[in-house]
Amino acid sequence: MSKPAFRSICLGSLLAIGPTLGLMLWFTPPAKANDPVIVEIKLEQGHFVLVPAEIKITAGQSVKWVPIEKDFDVAHHLAPATSSDAFEETHDFDSSNPPTRTFNTPGVVHYFCKKHPKTMVGTITVTPANQ
C-alpha cells in the first residue's frame, strides 16, 4: 500500500470514529467524591486475594469489596485483624451482595478474610479529611 493511500485510510478512520469517541468522553460521568473506593477480590494462582491489598483513603470515605470472579460462588467474610482495629466485621458475602464500610477515624486499619486468612489480608490507611 502506498503512503498516500495509507494516510487516506488513517484519516478516514479518525474522521469516522472521532465524533463517537468525543461523545463517549463527553457523556462519561465523572467519579463522585463520595463514591466508594473499590477493592477487588480476585482469584490469582489458585488463591483469593485483595487488589489492592493496601489502600489510602480520607476520613469519611467508604470502601467497597467486590468479588470479580463471578464463576465461583465462594463466600468471603471480612473481620478486623486485632481487637484494636476499627473495622466493622462483614457478613458472609459473594459477588451478589458486596459489603461497603465507611471509615471516619484517621489511623491504620488491618483486616482479613476469615474464610481465606492467609491470602486475603488488607490494610486501610485513613488520613484526616483536611489533608
46/24 Cα distance (integer angstroms): 37
90/96 Cα distance (integer angstroms): 14
Which secondary structure element, helix H or strand E, spans residue 66, and what is its range? strand 61-67
Percentage above 70 pLDDT, the chain: 73
- Range in 31-35, 54-58, 65-69, 75-79 the model is least confident about: 31-35
Dump pLDDT digits (tens) for 15-41. Answer: 454 554 443 334 445 445 678 999 999
What pTM was computed for the model?
Answer: 0.74
110 closest CA partner among 121, 123, 101: 123
Q: What DSSP string runs through 26-59?
A: HHSPPPPTTSPEEEEEEEETTEEEEESSEEEEET
